[in-house]
Amino acid sequence: TAAEVSVSGLTVLYSTDQGELPAVSRASVDLPTGKITGLVGESGSGKSTLALSMMNAVPAPGRISEGSIEVNGVGDVTKLEGKALRRVRGGALGYVFQASQNSLNPLKTIGKQLLDLGRAHDVKDLRELVHRAKELADRMGLDGDRVLDSYQHELSGGMRQRVGIVLALVLNAKVLVLDEPTTALDMLSQSAVLDIVRTVHRERGLTTLVVTHDMGVVSELADRLVVMYGGRIVEDGPTTELLQHPAHPYTRALITATARITGDTATARALPGRPPDLTTVPRTGCVFRERCALAMDVCAETEPELLAWAPDRRRACHAEPTGAEA
Ligand code: ATP
Ligand code: MG
């Protein structure tokens, strides 16, 4: 299958009190055209940083220090700047920010922000744009007229998430990136938002990336899963195979910790230990070794490479496959 987005050898650095440190290290991954890819991992694993890189939107003084991100029909977004970059953001690439990054402007109505978006992208027919936004909003169970007249504080969390999706899609994006689309929503709004994502993805033939720390969310939504830990991609593959036969100890631990997948609250165990941040992640060897039950001497010395071990499956681990996954 063709890749709509191709990330190669991406390294992203942030400045810390210990100097510049990588939040993402040499990450290579493709988003296959027309598929939903789920990017999972605990808090701090570098998911948002990888996703933001796709819009070349890593906040300064953070920076992409290595690698490329080829987007079909756009080129390498890491090389874009100025007007060309603004055209891609919200244009070919629709992006719904993680709530904490707050992309909505509290001082302007949603409708005003929609017009700003249209002007920034040289949309000639703004009335048509408003019409399309209302239609999208209505389809998402929102009252389009009311929402466009509202300020963000007048909307509930679930409504805001849906407004974010409307604004991300109104300019006919081909690639949709959703960062934690359901975090902070109650279960009912969660499943409503996921239904909308599924439907719009299918209807528009999008290539979609869903970023979440919740394995349960993407296990039902995504065609493929990409697992991150400590700024590294440690495993990826088709969702069903990866869930049935996880090949990295971290993926296994994540699955065990997710009651919704194991179907058993009693056996769902929290992952022991805490995820590392930029300053505490091991700088040599395997990033997961300090929490890994299978850790061996080599894991402290050599970083395992992300390698194919079966068709369409990759993992970064020195341990022998246990047999359960083969
Ligand atoms: P979460 O589930 O909390 O959203 P995440 O997987 O999206 O986590 P990132 O937000 O990409 O993780 O952060 C990766 C690492 O980079 C974390 O250790 C985080 O503390 C650090 N980090 C994120 N943004 C910055 C920044 N602007 N400056 C410095 N460090 C940062
Ligand atoms: Mg994040």
Domains of the chain: 3-315 (3.40.50.300)
| Residue listed under structure tokens 């609250």 | 265
Q: What sign does the dihedral 231-302-6-261 (CA atoms) show?
A: negative
C-beta 213 within 6 A of ligand 1: yes
Which ligand has the nearest atom to the CA of 50? Answer: 1
- Stretch 105-121: mean pLDDT: 93
Q: Which of 39, 47, 180 to mutate to test the pocket of ligand 1 (most atoms within 8 A of CB)?
A: 47
Dihedrals phi, psi of 186, to nearest 5 degrees: -70, 165
**Ligand 1 center from residue 113 Cα (angstroms):** 27
Is residue 247 packed enough to be buried (19+ CB in 10 Å), middle (13-18) or exposed (0-12)?
Answer: buried
The encoded tokens of residue 72 equal: 């079909």
Q: How far apart are CA 60 and CA 126, in angstroms?
A: 32
C-beta 251 within 6 A of ligand 1: no
Q: How far apart are CA 12 and CA 154, in angstroms?
A: 36
pTM of the model: 0.93
Look at residue 27 and tell me whether its pLDDT is greater than 80. yes
Q: How far apart are CA 143 and CA 86, in angstroms?
A: 29
C-beta 279 within 6 A of ligand 1: no
Residues whose CB is less than 8 angstroms from the CB of residue 177 and which lie 6 or more positions away in sequence, other chains included: 51, 54, 55, 93, 94, 95, 96, 168, 208, 209, 211
pLDDT tens column, 48-85:
999 999 999 999 999 999 999 999 999 999 999 999 99
Sequence-ordered alpha helix ranges (H) in 153-292 = 157-169, 187-204, 215-221, 239-244, 249-256, 259-262
Is residue 324 packed enough to be buried (19+ CB in 10 Å), middle (13-18) or exposed (0-12)?
Answer: exposed
Look at residue 188 and tell me whether its pLDDT is greater than 70. yes
pLDDT at residue 68 in the model: 98
C-beta 48 within 6 A of ligand 1: yes
**Ligand 2 center from residue 146 Cα (angstroms):** 30
Ligand 1 atom closest to 43 (CA): 2
pLDDT tens column, 285-304:
999 999 998 999 999 999 99
Residues whose CB is less than 8 angstroms from the CB of residue 275 and which lie 6 or more positions away in sequence, other chains included: 42, 43, 44, 45, 229, 230
3-state secondary structure of 309: strand
Q: How far apart are CA 26 and CA 20, in angstroms?
A: 15
pLDDT tens column, 140-181:
889 999 999 999 999 988 888 889 989 998 998 999 999 998
Ligand 1 atom closest to 51 (CA): 11
- With a threshold of 0.90, tell me whether the complex ipTM lies above it: yes
- Stretch 10-31: mean pLDDT: 97
Look at residue 126 and tell me whether its pLDDT is greater than 80. yes
Which is higher by pLDDT, 257 or 31? 31
pLDDT at residue 97 in the model: 84
